[in-house]
Structure 1
Amino acid sequence: MADKLNGRIALVTGASRGIGYFIAKQLAAEGAHVIAVARTVGGLEELDDEIQAAGGTATLVPLDLTDMAAIDQLGGAIHERWGKLDILVANAGVLGVLAPLGHIEAKTFEKTMSINVNATWRMIRTVDPLLRMSDAGRAVYLSSGAAHSTKAYWGLYAASKAAGEAMIRSWANETVNTPLRVNSVNPGATRTAMRALAMPGEDPDTLPRPADVAAKILPLLYPEVTRTGQLFDVPQNRFLSYRVPE
């Protein structure tokens, strides 16, 4: 096991499967203690078994991101136990539904925005003081190309991810004079359950595996990262430029 992140505390949401699962594993393999957050207990337990088998450590937090009060309490619990947070991977999200905007049910719209936007803001709010306590706090938000392509029928998911990116960019500007570095990531098409739901006729063997995508995101969480407020595009393996803030 490597020790590039030895002694660092990392929080990963949506850690029970997909990209979040493998980022959590890889963080632990680099020496970080992983706080794994997800709704699915079975997936968290499987993750914990694999992390322990490889010599790493994790704390499991079964949490439904619609439970805003629980998100608020998470920061206090982390502070009480560890006194800081070094890494945040805001990975959890839902697709919602692919449909014309005028056909989406209000309850579907509201739940999708609640998880993809409101919960992201609550997570930022609860961990911001903890990340500022780190000597090299790092935060990554898993966005999507949908936030920029705005394809027909993707309006709900696109709007939620665009809102998330906007918050992340503002957060980065608010913390630019601190050691905290905050970036967004477009993972691109990946062999995940969400992708299968969105593209049921697609051959999954043509898509990158979550473990490979996670490995490209991992370096953004290292202490030596200097970029902030930018979008890293995994398919192009490079940062894409936003317009310079006014």
Structure 2
Amino acid sequence: MNAVPPDARPATAAALHGRVVLVVGAHGGLGRAAALACARAGARLVLLGRRVPKLNRVHDAIVQGGGEATLYPLDLEGASADDYAELAARIEAEFGRLDGLLHCAAWFRGLTPLEHTEPAAFARALHVNLTARWWLTQACLPLLRRAADSAVVFVIDDPDATRQAYWGGYGIAQSGQQALVPMLHAELAATPVRISGLQPGPMRTALRAQISAEGDRGQARDPGDYADACVHLLSAEGAAQRGRIWCPAP
């Protein structure tokens, strides 16, 4: 992991002008805040999530602010590699391009001893938080390669915390992404596709609320405090963090 100064400056209104950005988990805490920030920065958004009413609310907020967004309802748990290939094909058909992919979707049932974790819950945590992220990224790479400058951003939880007891499949998936970011960066270093990770601090989200034994409740920040960091990594300025996992101050 690399903590890379300086911290991102506030996103400008043109930082993502002309770019098409796919936000995965767009109705979650950080996903929603990031989608709104990307729209303010000029991006055209594809909003992916499994809860249509919540996606609709994000879409409406973007449109009311003068932005442009398309909904793509999809449940990462049940989606296959073919489903992701169809998603990439639809983005190409509608927009003709893809410039950014932001992975915010996550699934976490709560702190549980591995010994007592249901096998299905363990598999779901690994799949939604790691395997599905890679399958979707893999399907989008041909489109991302065609852009002059594109970015894939994986939002990753603090490995020092999630490697501790009781984090189960979710914690293992975070460690997997810690390995995925530099590996994929090395493989794509000669292409226009930038790979990076974003490690925000504790946030007041539904996922964080599942943690019954934590000491950072008073330190947790609003997800909106990290929205500009998402824009920064997706924009041309994010090249400074290429191949790194960035831990910005809120």
Q: Which amino acid aligns with 2:58?
A: L
Provide the secondary structure at the position in 1 that maps to 2:47. Answer: strand
Instruction: Spell out the pairing of 1:75-94 with structure 2 (5 A cutoff).
Output: 75-94=88-107
User: What does residue 58 of structure 1 align with?
Assistant: 69
From 24, 27, 41, the counterpart of 1:13:
24
Give 1:101 deviation, angstroms. 1.5
Change in Cα spacing, 1:84 to 1:234, as seen in structure 2 (3 Å) is same
Instruction: Spell out the pairing of 1:85-124 with structure 2 (5 A cutoff).
Output: 85-124=98-137
From 216, 220, 225, the counterpart of 1:207:
220
Change in Cα spacing, 1:118 to 1:142, as seen in structure 2 (3 Å) is same
Distance 1:165 1:201 in 2: 22
Instruction: Spell out the pairing of 1:1-246 with structure 2 (5 A cutoff).
Output: 2-66=13-77, 67-68=79-80, 69-146=82-159, 150-199=163-212, 206-226=219-239, 227-235=241-249
Divergent runs of 4+, >6 A: 200-203
Give 1:214 deviation, angstroms. 1.6
CA contact (8 A) 2:110 2:212 kept: no
Provide the secondary structure at the position in 2 that maps to 1:60. Answer: strand
Q: Which ranges of structure 1 fall in alignment gaps of 5 or more residues?
A: 238-246
CA contact (8 A) 1:217 1:234 kept: no
Q: Percent identity?
A: 31
Moved more, 52-61 or 223-232: 223-232
Moved more, 104-113 or 92-101: 92-101
Moved more, 11-20 or 206-215: 206-215
Give 1:136 deviation, angstroms. 0.8
Give 1:91 deviation, angstroms. 1.0
Provide the secondary structure at the position in 2 that maps to 1:224. Answer: helix
Which structure has more RCO (C-alpha within 8 Å, separation ≥ 6)? Answer: 2
Q: Which amino acid aligns with 2:164?
A: K
Give 1:205 deviation, angstroms. 5.9
The TM-score, its normalising length taken from structure 2, stands at: 0.88
Give 1:147 deviation, angstroms. 6.2
1:162-199 Cα shifts (integer Å, max 9, x gaps): 11232222111111112221101111200101001114
Q: Which ranges of structure 2 fall in alignment gaps of 5 or more residues?
A: 1-11
CA contact (8 A) 2:23 2:48 kept: yes
Distance 2:53 2:145 in 1: 32
Aligned residues: 236
1:112-139 Cα shifts (integer Å, max 9, x gaps): 1111122011111111111111111011
Q: Which amino acid aligns with 2:40?
A: A
Distance 1:221 1:165 in 2: 19
Provide the secondary structure at the position in 1 that maps to 2:107. Answer: coil
Moved more, 17-26 or 225-234: 225-234
Change in Cα spacing, 1:98 to 1:217, as seen in structure 2 (3 Å) is same
Change in Cα spacing, 1:136 to 1:147, as seen in structure 2 (3 Å) is farther
